[in-house]
Amino acid sequence: MADTLAGTAGEAASSVPEYPMPRDARCPFNPPATVRQLTADEPVSKVRIWDGSTPWFITRHADQRTLLTDPRISIDENRPGFPHMTRGRAEAAKVTPPLITNTDAPEHTRLRRMVNGPFTVKRAEALRPAIQKITDDLIDAMLAGPKPVDLVTALGLPLPTLVISELLGVPYEDNEFFHHQSTVALSHESSGQQAQEAAGALFGYLDGLIEQKTANPADDMLSELAARIKAGEMTRAEAATMGVAVLIAGHETSASMIPLGTLALLQNPGQFAVLRDTDDPKVIAAAVDELLRYLTIVHTGVRRIALEDIEIGGQVIRAGDGIIFDISAASWDPSMFPEPERLDLSRAARQHQAFGYGPHQCLGQNLARVELQVVYSTLYRRVPTLRLATSFDEIEFAFEGIAYSLRSLPVTW
Ligand code: HEM
């Protein structure tokens, strides 16, 4: 199947690079050198993944935008040849019910319409005061305690967890439970069985909450889903699955961005000063988009499969071939973002690829932007002398998840 097609890219099978590739420990923010080389020399190429198959590998910004909106590609993980991220994900796909992250139009359009409401710009903005309060409280607690502080545990993990639990209507007391389960469900180190069990535990938990909200609705997303079940617009299983998807997707990503963005800024003091010294919402919004571009934390590629033959970049992707879009490559495509290795908060970076593109583009992007705008601007203005409490070399990155992150970030002031 896909792996026998390596030759169609004009390469001997042995020269197909393994994916994902490790990053250079000296510049861990940069996409791997091979990925950047492929963007320059062979933007439609092939890589070899964990199961030996060789899906197509798309690196350029323009090609990604063309293909990710092409109805001839599918996100249906159960099609033979789909380039799964891990063995665990391949096994989990067999038992995952239809949800926004594994269906195509028209089913995807229907399911996404059920959840668009809480994620509009307007609703994300309405959460800004609550996000500000959560941020202020966490920073108060941090400043009141001993130094140094691990920014991952003080802010990175609790903040998105509090925000997403507020949005969904999940009690914060359960945060350890759902943080643990979502980590297991997504980690590259989990076996198929562990990943399935974790997703199952989250499903059961949210299903129970939806039942409670059917009887006692509140002003939250799970209650909205409960109302849609009552109206016959969706099933209870669909609603609980949607809750799991939002919980997982909204939890890991912002948790990674907060410490990683801080580390990137501390390594670039001039850029740190931009955020520290401004309260201009436009400057803050542009800064957040540049940090999203620079970090593009989803580092293992977004995955699809071709439904028909598609010609792109002088190559023909055959029906049934897997396709990987390395979105960090697109966010670092120099034809779109000159000198991509330069963190420049004044850059027009909004067209970055950190949230993906096309029908599956990140549902939570408005919320994520508001969260990051509040956190970065508040933290550096309130703690203007923030600095690392260790050397850069000592900081441990975590690359095993879908989004890369830091294991800890010791800071002082
Ligand atoms: C900085 C933070 C975030 C980043 C970098 C990010 C990144 C992404 C990316 C790259 C995709 C596209 C995946 C694909 O095309 O296969 C995606 C999809 C998604 N994201 Fe995010 N995300 C972030 C925050 C959030 C938040 C806060 C939520 C929810 C509260 C969320 C919910 C989702 C959902 C539900 C999808 C699937 C959409 C669909 O398939 O239609 N994300 N995200």
Per-residue pLDDT tens digits for 21-68: 999 988 999 999 999 999 999 999 999 999 999 999 999 999 999 999
**Which protein residues are within 6 Å of ligand 1, measured from CB?**
100-101, 112, 164, 245-246, 249-250, 253-254, 257, 297-298, 302, 327, 354-356, 360, 362-364, 367-368
Alpha carbon of 173 to ligand 1 centroid (Å):
24
> Which residue has its alpha carbon closest to ligand 1 atom 38?
360
127 has a pLDDT exceeding 70: yes
User: Where is 82: in which H helix or E strand?
Assistant: none
305 has a pLDDT exceeding 70: yes
Q: What are the b/e assignments for 35-65, b being 16+ CB within 10 Å? A: bbebbeebbbbbbbbbeebbbbbbbbbebbb
For 170, phi then psi, to 5°, come to -95, 130
The answer, yes or no, to whether the previous bond of 148 is cis (omega within 30 of 0) is yes
Candidates 182, 247, 355: which one to mutate for ligand 1, based on the most atoms within 8 Å of Cβ?
355
Our count of domains for the chain comes to 1
Check residue 71 and give its pLDDT: 98
pLDDT in tens, 214-258: 999 998 999 999 999 999 998 998 899 888 888 778 878 988 999
Alpha carbon of 258 to ligand 1 centroid (Å):
16
Check residue 7 and give its pLDDT: 39
Tell me the three state secondary structure of residue 166: helix
Alpha carbon of 246 to ligand 1 centroid (Å):
8
190 has a pLDDT exceeding 70: yes
CA distance 262 to 256: 10
Q: What proportion of the chain, given as a percentage, has pLDDT over 70? A: 95
Cα distances from 382 to residues 283, 386, 406, in angstroms, run 17, 9, 23
CA distance 209 to 195: 21
Atom of ligand 1 nearest to the CA of 297: 5
Alpha carbon of 354 to ligand 1 centroid (Å):
9
User: Where is 149: in which H helix or E strand?
Assistant: strand 149-150
Which band of pLDDT confidence, cut at 50, 70 and 90, is reported for residue 187? Answer: low
Residue 52 near residue 83, CB atoms below 8 Å: no
> Which residue has its alpha carbon closest to ligand 1 atom 42?
364
Which band of pLDDT confidence, cut at 50, 70 and 90, is reported for residue 176? Answer: confident
Give me 232's structure tokens. 């016959």
Check residue 3 and give its pLDDT: 35
pLDDT in tens, 55-108: 999 999 999 999 999 999 999 999 999 999 998 889 989 988 888 999 999 999
Candidates 157, 247, 253, 288: which one to mutate for ligand 1, based on the most atoms within 8 Å of Cβ?
253
> Which residue has its alpha carbon closest to ligand 1 atom 6?
355
| Torsion 299-41-330-321 (CA) sign | negative
382: Cβ contacts below 8 Å, ≥ 6 apart: 139, 143
Which band of pLDDT confidence, cut at 50, 70 and 90, is reported for residue 6? Answer: very low
Q: Report which residue type is found at 345.
A: L
Q: What proportion of the chain, given as a percentage, has pLDDT over 90? A: 74
Alpha carbon of 13 to ligand 1 centroid (Å):
33
Alpha carbon of 202 to ligand 1 centroid (Å):
18
Length of the chain, in residues? 413
Question: Higher-confidence residue: 60 or 195?
Answer: 60
54: Cβ contacts below 8 Å, ≥ 6 apart: 2, 3, 5, 6, 9, 13, 16, 46, 47, 48
4 has a pLDDT exceeding 60: no
Which band of pLDDT confidence, cut at 50, 70 and 90, is reported for residue 188? Answer: low
Its domain, for residue 141, covers: 2-412
When computed from its CA atoms, the radius of gyration of the chain, rounded to whole angstroms, is 21
Tokens 């004009």, located at residue:
10
296 has a pLDDT exceeding 80: yes
Check residue 33 and give its pLDDT: 96
Mean pLDDT of 104-114: 94
Pick the closest to residue 139 from 128, 153, 155 (CA basis). Answer: 155
Check residue 343 and give its pLDDT: 98
189 has a pLDDT exceeding 80: no
Mean pLDDT of 245-274: 92
Alpha carbon of 32 to ligand 1 centroid (Å):
22
Pick the closest to residue 254 from 291, 208, 213 (CA basis). Answer: 291
Q: How many CB atoms lie within 10 A of CB 156?
A: 26
What's the CATH number where 373 sits?
A: 1.10.630.10
| Strand blocks (E) in 9-117 | 44-46, 56-58, 73-74
Q: Report which residue type is found at 52.
A: G
pLDDT in tens, 326-339: 999 999 999 999 99
**If you average pLDDT over every residue of the chain, what do you get?**
91
> Which residue has its alpha carbon closest to ligand 1 atom 27?
250
Atom of ligand 1 nearest to the CA of 371: 27
Candidates 352, 362, 372, 402: which one to mutate for ligand 1, based on the most atoms within 8 Å of Cβ?
362
Alpha carbon of 236 to ligand 1 centroid (Å):
22
